[in-house]
Structures are given as structure tokens and as C-alpha cells.
Structure 1
Amino acid sequence: MDVEKFDMTNYLSVLPMFSNLTKPERENISQDCALRRLSRGEMVFRAGEQCEEFHVIVTGQVKLYVASSSGQEKIVELIGPGQSFAEAMMFLNKPHMLNAQTLTDTMLMSVSKQAVFGEIERDPRFSMHMLAGISRRLHGLLRDVEGYALHSGMQRLIGYLLRDLDDEITDDMGTITVSLPVSKATIASRLSLTPEYFSRVLHELEAERLIEIDKREIRILDVRRLASYGCH
């Protein structure tokens, strides 16, 4: 995607928090937005740096993580195209608590604090869209905490594979293919599992003829059986 030809005003229109704004309003905000390309492995920001903007991923993927003094990482969230991050710290006026690093070549749109606060002052309804986005992230994190506390590693992995199906599981579902967006080790960290345990569970599910593994492609052979397998 060509950065110079990218229509920032038009892209804002497809993002929930900006979709209700008029075109002139989006044009005004886009003047305080910056578009940049980052290579795989580049840092978007580090914990401790001041937060002066939030970010929306146009293409690519970013991991949010904490790192211990020994260098070990715990991935808190994986962010993909159309998703935003760092809004909460911007409102708190505090330094970043997490690190953000690209997992692939990524195009980011960064929206300045000045643009956001200016729009809220002009139209307080805009703050409701921002709050909705932050609330969705909080709900997701709370769901993760519940999973870590109440569900086994097997259940968490199965839940991840079936995450896009919600409650739509039916008996007549055929084979469904899930493409892992990042490495198995990265997903394992996201689920608070060791890479070794993650691989062991995948191979157990494959031995049970519930899935087939082809590198990052996971073919789910029996959705209903897989959904109930982790409950045993």
C-alpha cells in the first residue's frame, strides 16, 4: 500500500469511533494524524515512554507485551488491521505500561492527543465512541483473566481456535480452516501457555482426528466434538 496515495480521511470513515463524523470533521482530524510504515520487529513504543497519541493498524500486526528484567515476555494482546490501541494511557496522561512491537511489516495511523481532545471538546458524543472502544478491550481482558483462572490450557487453546464461531456451532458444519496469524510460540504466550504445551495439545487434538495441522493452517474436522473435547 502506497503511503502517499493513502486516503486517511476515507479510512477514518470505516473506523467505528470516527464513522459518525462528517467528512469535513474527518478531514480536520486527519490533519493531526500521521501514517508510517514499520518493518517487522520494530518498536511502536516502549513501556515508560510518554503517550501522546493512539494508533490504528491499517495493515500488519502488533503485539502488546510486558517484559521481565530477565527479558522474558508475556503477550497481553495481539492487535490486527482496523483495531486501535493505546487510547487508555493517552486519557490517563501517563507513560505507557506496555511495549508495542510489530510482528509483521505494518502500516500504522497515529492519531494525536490534540486531535482527539479537540474533537471531544467540539462534540462530547465523540467521547462515547472512544469509551466504547476502551470498554471492548477491557471486556476482552476480563474474559482472558476468567479463562486463565477457570479454564484449563486445553480449553483456552480450543477456545482460541473456535473464537470466531461464537455460539454458531451446528451439527452440519463441515471442515473449517483457521489460519494462525502469528507463530505458535506467540499465540502460546498470548494464552499463557508454554510453546511446548501448546504444541503437545495441538498434536493430541490431531491424534484424536479433531484437527489437521499444516504449518499455520489448522483444519477443524469436527467443530462440535472439538468444542466439547476440552470439557472432559
Structure 2
Amino acid sequence: MFAKEITVMSFENYFPLWNNLNTAHKKLISDNLITQHVKKGTIIHNGNMDCTGLLLVKSGQLRTYILSDEGREITLYRLFNMDMCLLSASCIIRSIQFEVTIEAEKDTDLWIIPAEIYKGIMKDSAPVANYTNELMATRFSDVMWLLEQIMWKSLDKRVASFLLEETSIEETNELKITHETIANHLGSHREVITRMLRYFQGEGLVKLSRGKITILDPKRLETLQRS
């Protein structure tokens, strides 16, 4: 069996709309599907300069973030196995200008349906158009949730929540992460995050070492994030 046939067969199992496509649309995707392996730290999509296409993660982890004029970052959402991102192809949807950057947080295998290919199928297929609208609504809900966190939650609660999320993702209480990275996720400054983490350490919640944060009391962190 040819490598491309193997790729498409695997893609069928990941793409939720595959069985709703007609034969012509399936062939169009199969003939134009892009397979990529990207290393940690690779920028996959860079703002409005790119219209990359629909991303589907096979394995790995991506981070979608926005960048301020001053160079500060804040994470909008992350993508894991079988997650899809449409903001990397926002040019296919009229009146949407959403300038995001997408970076690989880990070595990642993904598929890309080119924007023009997906746009053409979306025009012809009601199930694809409906799913696209649902996916875009989900991502905007993620963004609105983030705005609520920024507006109404204090930084100590947001840091506690982030640390707990990281322990869940990495499946360990020993996080190999820098203060700068946390600041970039939360839209803060490294110095501010360092002060907060030192406070947590003084309270016995975490232990800090170079390039690593060890969670000592996850239950108290959970209580803090809910309070």
C-alpha cells in the first residue's frame, strides 16, 4: 500500500466529517491533503499574513496565541490529539479578521486541508458549512471564557489554574517550565509571575528550582482557584 493511501486512511479516522462528504469531495481532500511533522517551537501560522488552512492534529500539542503591539503574548487555547483549528484559515470566512499565531508546544504530526480546498467544499456541502460554524463558535467561546478570566479572576487564581492544567496535561507534578513561559500563556510579565510563584512557595504550595516547578499541594491550589 502506498504511503499516501496510508495517510488518507488514517485521516479518515480523525476527520469527523469524512463520512458526510461525497466521493468528489473526498478525492479533492485526498489529492490536496498536506501532512506535516513539526518540531517543538515551530511557528505553523503567523497572523493575517498566512491563510494556512484547516489544521487537524494527529499527535502532539499546539498553542494558539495573540501578540500585542508591545510584544506580550497570551494563549487563547491549545490543541491536542484530534483537535482542529479553523482560525488558521479564517480568510475563508467573510468579515472575520482574527490575527493569531500558532506554535508547536511539542513535536507534532498534523494534517492541513488548504484554505481554498476547504472553502470550496464548504460552499458545496451543508454538513461541512454547519460544522465549520459550530467549530468557529466553539473557538470564540474559548476566547470569551479567557476574557472573563482576565477581567474577573485575580492573577493568583489564574496561576493556580494554569499550574493544575499543566499537571493534568503532562501527567506529573514536576513541571519543566519557565516563569517566562507561564507569563506568555497568561499575558503577564515574567517578574510578576516570579513574585507570585515565590509567594506560592512561601505558602508551601510549590517548590521552585531552575527550569522546574514542583507542585506540593494540588488540593490547596484547587481551593485557591475556586475561591
Short-chain TM bin:
0.7 to 0.9
**In the comparison of the two structures, how many residue pairs are matched?**
218
Structure 1 residue 222: deviation in Å?
4.2
1:24-59: per-residue Cα shift (whole Å, max 9, x none)?
665652322101223344332333424152222333
In structure 2, do the counterparts of structure 1 residues 67 and 191 end up closer, same or farther at CA, with 3 Å as the change threshold? closer
Equivalent residue in structure 2 for 1:92, among 88, 91, 94: 94
Structure 1 residue 191: deviation in Å?
1.0
Equivalent residue in structure 2 for 1:142, among 141, 144, 161: 144
Letter in 1 for 2:74: I
Q: CA RMSD in A?
A: 3.7
Unaligned runs of 5+ in 2: none
In structure 2, do the counterparts of structure 1 residues 14 and 212 end up closer, same or farther at CA, with 3 Å as the change threshold? farther
2:8 aligns with 8
Counterpart CA distance in 1 for 2:27 and 2:215 is 44
Structure 1 residue 23: deviation in Å?
9.6
2:215 aligns with 219
Counterpart CA distance in 2 for 1:189 and 1:89 is 26
* TM-score (normalised: structure 1): 0.71
* TM-score (normalised: structure 2): 0.73
Counterpart CA distance in 1 for 2:177 and 2:11 is 25
Equivalent residue in structure 1 for 2:191, among 167, 188, 196: 196
Instruction: Name the stretch that deviates more: 133-142 or 156-165.
Output: 156-165
Structure 1 residue 206: deviation in Å?
3.2
Instruction: Name the stretch that deviates more: 130-139 or 180-189.
Output: 180-189
Unaligned runs of 5+ in 1: 166-175
- The 5 A counterparts of 1:1-232 are 7-16=7-16, 18=17, 20-21=19-20, 26=26, 28-51=28-51, 53-67=53-67, 72-81=71-80, 82-85=82-85, 86-92=88-94, 97-163=99-165, 177-178=172-173, 180=175, 183-212=178-207, 215-216=211-212, 218-219=214-215, 221-223=217-219, 225-229=220-224
